[in-house]
Structure 1
Amino acid sequence: MTLVKAGVVVLDCAEPERLSVFYKEFLEGEQTDASANLVEIRGAGGIRLAFRRDVNATLPSWPRPENSLQAHLVFLVEHMDEAERRVVGLGGRPIETKDPAGPYEERRYADPAGHPFTLRLVPITAPKQG
């Protein structure tokens, strides 16, 4: 029997209602719970995120070295340009313009509250024939 059934990543921010809309639209999801200080969503792919009110939250400065990268999200996408258009259209902004080293195509952004996240391209592979 599995003890832990699911997990939720919680992001601190000044306006959880507003930030939840950004991720709900980006992930094509739905709001699953809300209180005065916490909003939770579930994306269409099953990812669960929550947003907790903290008017004194200090965001990391990543990719600048002044603060450590406390945490960031990575979203796997099949269509990088389409995902980027959606992120920017919803109020996200690019935070790094140079190509990162590594085996994956990645682009980095900040959500409207300043939390960093990465879009990583997952190549579409055709099913095996025969």
Structure 2
Amino acid sequence: MALVKAGVVVLDCAEPERLAVFYKELLEAEETDATANRVEIRGADGTRLAFRRDVNATPPSWPRPENALQAHLDFVVEDLDEAERRVVGLGGRPLATKDAPGPFEERCYSDPAGHSFTLRLVPSTAPKQG
């Protein structure tokens, strides 16, 4: 048995309740624990995220160099366009990147509190044609 086990990814933010709703809707998750300063959710696949109140939280500024990328989340999707519509509909926003290669296999966004995350296309399992 491992001495240390993976726990939960925690994002600091000014409004944990609001950010939890964004990720609950995005991941079709359920709330598992909530206190005055922390909300935790669990996705259908078992992924756990928590959101902790920090009234002085400063969101990362990626891709701008000041305050840079502190950390980010990667999510896999089967349809980037559909997932992007959902993200934007929930209050997330696309992040512009310089010299982004195409065709896009992943896209970067920020959640309503400014944390960056990536939607990455699940690689096709179909054999190559031609």
Q: Which residue of 2 aligns with 1:46?
A: 46
Contact in 1 for aligned 2:63/2:97 (Cα 8 Å): no
Letter in 1 for 2:71: A
Q: Which residue of 2 aligns with 1:74?
A: 74
Cα deviation, residue 103, structure 1? 9.7
Contact in 1 for aligned 2:11/2:52 (Cα 8 Å): yes
Contact in 2 for aligned 1:104/1:120 (Cα 8 Å): no
What per-residue deviation string (whole Å, max 9, x for no partner) do you get for residues 67-122 of structure 1?
Answer: 22110111111111111111111110001255634997110101011111111111
How far apart, in 1, do the equivalents of 2:61 and 2:105 lie?
Answer: 22
TM-score (norm 1): 0.88
Letter in 2 for 1:73: L
Letter in 2 for 1:76: V
After TM superposition, the structure 1 = structure 2 runs for residues 89-108 of structure 1, keeping only pairs within 5 Å, are: 89-96=89-96, 100-101=100-101, 105-108=105-108
Unaligned runs of 5+ in 2: none
TM-score (norm 2): 0.88
> What is the aligned-residue identity percentage?
81
Q: Which residue of 2 aligns with 1:8?
A: 8
Unaligned runs of 5+ in 1: none
Contact in 1 for aligned 2:16/2:39 (Cα 8 Å): yes
- Size of the aligned set, in residue pairs, is 127
RMSD: 2.1
